[in-house]
Amino acid sequence: MSKITMPNKNKTCQQSLIPLNSKPLNVKNGRLEQIDWLASPNYNHRPEGVEIDTIVIHNISLPPDQFGQTDSQGMHHVKAFFTNCLEYEAHPYFQTIKGLEVSAHLFIERDGAITQLVNFEDRAWHAGLSSYLGRDKCNDFSIGIELEGSDFQPFTEMQYQALASVIVAIYQAYPKTRRHLTGHSDIAPVRKTDPGEYFQWIKLRKMVSEQLKSSVNTNLNS
Ligand SMILES: [Zn+2]
């Protein structure tokens, strides 16, 4: 019998690592330069003529309220979930999300490590049924950022720092987003509660405005 070589089903689960950068972050061709890239298949094109003008913050943890858990291959459960590679047998909760095809543009772990899964120019599947300022289908015009976290625990300082850095980079690449920074619970209030009451909006906004000020100063001085 001749040997048949099967295509590698898990190809998309393998992460291409790019060394972590020195700040500030920069968006080029829809991607944050120098951060980890892990391609999610869960995206499609944004509708023609729709501009990116909103940033949506989420939280996620798999299993719920547990952080940094990895599968038998050493892959983070959330990254596996966003690339349709989650080992659904590994935990009873995973059975309840089996087959869901979702993603976000960015995932920020507890230690502040950032992974980009979908090009900003493409439409990630993070918001679901949603409405923001009278506009439905928020995935069409937004960038989705998932923080590893839950509604019941504080986020880490490293996450706020990483989040502020990526928001500043996004503001510079897509200036209309400066006016629309929101949470999943605000665009899908009946269905969703994330990023939750522990998420410190004022702290984030202060960090973002400080970074913006220092980036302006850097530009003036260069
Ligand atoms: Zn969410």
pLDDT in tens, 15-74: 433 334 456 899 999 999 989 999 999 999 999 999 999 999 999 999 999 999 999 999
By C-alpha distance, which of 61, 55, 62, 64 is closest to 183? 55
Type and span of the H or E element at 199: none
Name the residue with higher pLDDT: 215 or 172. 172
| Interval between CA 219 and ligand 1 midpoint (Å) | 35
Q: Residue 7: what pLDDT?
A: 41
| Interval between CA 188 and ligand 1 midpoint (Å) | 9
Mean pLDDT score across all residues of the chain: 90
| Rounded Cα distance, 45 and 51, in Å | 12
Q: How many CA atoms lie within 13 A of 52 on its CB side?
A: 21
| Interval between CA 215 and ligand 1 midpoint (Å) | 30
- Clarify whether 146 is annotated catalytic: yes
**pLDDT, average across residues 145-173:** 98
Q: Which CATH architecture has domain 4-8+33-209?
A: 3-Layer(aba) Sandwich (3.40)
pLDDT tens digits along 183-202: 999 999 999 999 999 999 99
pTM: 0.89
